[in-house]
Amino acid sequence: MATLSKPVPMKPKANSIKKTIIFIIVISLIIWAFDGVNYNGLMPSAAGTIVGMWNGILHPDVSYLTDWSIDGLPYAIVETIAIAISGTFVSGVLAIPFALLASQNIVGKRVSKVGKFIITMIRTFPELILALIFIGIVGPGAPAGILALGVHSIGMLGKLFSESIESMDIGVKEALESCGGNSAEVLFRAVIPQVLPEFLSYTLFRFEINMRAAATLGLVGAGGIGAPLIFAIKARDWERTGIIVIVLIITVTIIDIISSKIRKKLV
């Protein structure tokens, strides 16, 4: 760059010690992390596996795609979508009371902190473990997956819902109250119309995430495409793995595109 006519002001030095300490901590954490990862080299069969995978992607098992029975790919992928839809719906409904409980302008500061902590706790609990617990309750199959997604998604939706309730324009509510509106009218004419587009948009966003999650829940037996996928990988049937992965990528991409189009219209 061209030389500046004025001298550049000195950088502030006050934070440099703090910065060095943080830097050292971060670097040592990273070194510690890499130290713990044990690389045992490739499997002796790795080269064959990679060639097999590549061939599987190039020559996928098309007969599996056109198998319209209950063991075929179409059924599994539709089941996966059905799990994602139902799970998202369950969580969309369940998240509303949690969100209200976590919103400062509804329940006050103290209660909202408790509500927020509950939501964080739900978010932290992995859905795969939830799926395993629900399999113990309703048996293996799609309902366990739906319940797992339904409960786990409260963690994200509850947080986002409560943020949009908290940023709501309170003037509309006050205007209705000053005209003598009762609490039901306030709820249906002031609160819901304001937050509904955002709620729907967040729910759709969560649906996109749940679509990916539903594809893995089958690994533990909670229905959907995951079970045939893990069987194909374990059996090293790369033609079948190939077709499942290809169909999964296409389905997820299409759903992403549709859902983000709708979301753009909503908000």
Partner 1 sequence: MNPELVARLPKKPKRIKFYSTLALVVAIIVSAAVFSGFSILDIINNLRFATRLLKSMFFPPAWDYADNVIKPLLQTIQMAIAGSFIGAILAFPAALLAANNFIKIKWLNTTVRLFLNFFRTIPALVLAALFVSIFGIGSFAGVVALTIFSFGLISKMTYESIEAIDYGQVEAIISLGGNKLNIFRYAILPQVLPQYMSYTLYAFEVNVRAAAVLGYVGAGGVGQTYQIWLDLRRFDRVGIIIIISFVAVLIIDLISSAIRRRLV
Q: Which is nearer to partner 1, 111 or 246 (CB)?
A: 246
Angle between helix 154-166 and 109-124 (nearest 10): 150
DSSP annotation of 236 reads T
Q: How far is the CB of 197 from partner 1 (least distance, A)?
A: 13
How far apart CA 29 and CA 32 sit, in angstroms, is 5
Q: Which is nearer to partner 1, 130 or 176 (CB)?
A: 130
Q: Which is nearer to partner 1, 161 or 238 (CB)?
A: 238
Angle between helix 226-234 and 192-217 (nearest 10): 30
Q: How far is the CB of 85 from partner 1 (least distance, A)?
A: 4
How far apart CA 73 and CA 67 sit, in angstroms, is 7
Helix (H, G, I), strand (E, B) or coil at 69: coil
Q: How far is the CB of 264 from partner 1 (least distance, A)?
A: 14
What are the tokens at 191?
A: 């609160």
Q: How far is the CB of 263 from partner 1 (least distance, A)?
A: 14
Helices (H), 109-237: 109-124, 127-138, 142-152, 154-166, 170-178, 183-186, 192-217, 226-234
How far apart CA 197 and CA 192 sit, in angstroms, is 9
Q: How far is the CB of 141 from partner 1 (least distance, A)?
A: 7
Neighbours of 174 (CB within 10 A): 12
Residues in touch with partner 1 (CB under 8 A) = 1-2, 29-30, 32-40, 42-43, 46, 49-50, 53, 78-79, 81-83, 85-86, 89, 120-121, 123-126, 128-129, 132-133, 136-139, 141-143, 145-147, 212-213, 215-216, 219-220, 223, 226, 229-230, 233, 236, 241, 245, 248-249, 252-253, 256
Q: How far is the CB of 106 from partner 1 (least distance, A)?
A: 23
* Triad 194, 175, 200: Cα angle to 5°: 5
Q: What are phi and psi of 177, to 5 degrees?
A: -65, -40
How far apart CA 186 and CA 173 sit, in angstroms, is 6
Q: How far is the CB of 173 from partner 1 (least distance, A)?
A: 24
